[in-house]
Structure 1
Amino acid sequence: MNTLLHPTYFPSISHFVAMAQSEEITFEIEDNFQKQTNRNRTYIYSPNGIQLLNIPVKHSKLSHQKTKDIQIENDFDWQKQHFKSLEAAYRSSPFFEYFEDDIRPIFEKKHNFLLDLNFETLDFITKSMRLKLDYKTTVEYFHEVDANKVTDFRFLANGKKDTSVFESYTQVFDDKYGFINNLSVLDLLFNEGKFALDYLKSQKIS
């Protein structure tokens, strides 16, 4: 079965549960950009609880703009802010230092297009987990797909529609706020390291 997903910024755990258990993966790149979705945001577990990391994008006068045409607003240093937030959140996690040298360049490189950045974050995660991921991208947009051939997980890009609940694992600040479900897969990676992929393969999406 082919799985259809949106490429998002450091995808959620539910995104990676879908990917880790798929035979084929297709990423939707012909859709119209929707604000306030995980296309340009992700959530981490900070010292103060859940924290949103949002990528600023350039606004167009066009009412509808395709996600693949969305450009990042680089007039202020959001990358430095995001990396500092990750350090504050995960510096004391078991595996942050192990992956730090590999993830840092993502925040030192200026990306023009959101899609390029999202695919780079995807590549970082799959390499870190040693998950072999062959994927293709869409060439046109279909509002609905054949459910007999494709599992449509595009809704996972909208966090409000994603009701998945996963098994708990140890998180850095869980003694303060308890387990926070379905954050960025970075939370799982920095806390579970090499065991992250086994976890993803054992979970189910609601």
Structure 2
Amino acid sequence: MINEMNENELYSIDLQFIPPVNWFKISIKGKYIIFNSFEKWKKMSFGNRCTLLGGNGLVNLSVPIEKGRDQKALLRGIKISYLDNWQLKFWRTIISCYNRAPFFEYYKDDFEKILFKKHELLVDLNLELVLLCFKYLDVNKEVIMDDEHKYPHLDATDHFLTPKLFQQDPHPVTYHQMFSDRFGFNPNLSIMDLLFMEGPEAKHLLSK
């Protein structure tokens, strides 16, 4: 199958947790998107975390993963920890940040349903959330989960898709944000921020 694909239609990108806006700006370009679950787990990444904007500034959410994990483990083997009730804490934080956002009521039920599932593996949680976001963005994307290193690593991820540098993107997608009167514009928050604020217009903004 890979030989029949045009490399310009292929994007291989890290499978992240409710990824930043720029992740979607990159990933919607190609016809096919490849998630490499054989990749080594990256401790300081958006693999298990996302950033929102709340009334007191930036809010970082991090899905706990099981203790004693091998930091050289593959992404497909990373298990979620449920020792703490992180799902309830996450959802309360999301409500606090976005309950007054214009499109929160339209999208919240599906996000809540997925977040409160007890996925064993982080990759399964991330994939279900990403597919939900593609649905809301009206993006028809053929997703390929590469579990056996069958496809070449045509990496579309750039250094702006890391927690350390994600706000240094020189060409961010801009839109009105909650609390912008207090904190100005904050680029590349989780895609939830864009969806809850702009709704169906989000797809157009990502394509500009």
Q: Report if TM-score (shorter chain) is over 0.5.
A: yes
Q: Identity rate of aligned residues, in percent?
A: 26
**Alignment match, 2:60:** 52
**Alignment match, 2:43:** 35
Q: Secondary structure at the match of 1:51?
A: strand
**Alignment match, 1:69:** 77
Cα deviation for residue 179 of structure 1 reads 0.6
**Alignment match, 2:26:** 18
2:103 aligned with 1:81, yes or no?
A: no
AA at the equivalent of 1:116: D
2:176 aligned with 1:166, yes or no?
A: no
Stretches of structure 1 that go unaligned for 5 or more consecutive residues are none
Normalising by the residue count of structure 2, what TM-score does the alignment of the two structures yield? 0.87
* Contact 2:173/2:206 (8 A) holds in 1: no
Q: Residues 121, 61 of structure 1: CA spacing in aligned structure 2 closer, same or farther, 3 A cutoff?
A: closer
**Alignment match, 2:107:** 99
Normalising by the residue count of structure 1, what TM-score does the alignment of the two structures yield? 0.88
AA at the equivalent of 1:152: A
**Alignment match, 1:190:** 196
**Root mean square deviation, CA, Å:** 1.9
Stretches of structure 2 that go unaligned for 5 or more consecutive residues are 1-7
Q: How many residues align?
A: 197
* Contact 1:4/1:154 (8 A) holds in 2: no
Distance in 2, Cα, partners of 1:118 & 1:157: 16
* Contact 1:5/1:154 (8 A) holds in 2: no
Q: Residues 167, 158 of structure 1: CA spacing in aligned structure 2 closer, same or farther, 3 A cutoff?
A: closer
**Alignment match, 2:139:** 131
Instruction: Identify which of 3, 14, 36 aligns with 1:6.
Output: 14
Between stretches 17-26 and 155-164, larger displacement belongs to 155-164
2:148 aligned with 1:153, yes or no?
A: no
Distance in 1, Cα, partners of 2:120 & 2:84: 13
* Contact 2:43/2:71 (8 A) holds in 1: no
Q: Residues 152, 167 of structure 1: CA spacing in aligned structure 2 closer, same or farther, 3 A cutoff?
A: closer
AA at the equivalent of 1:191: M
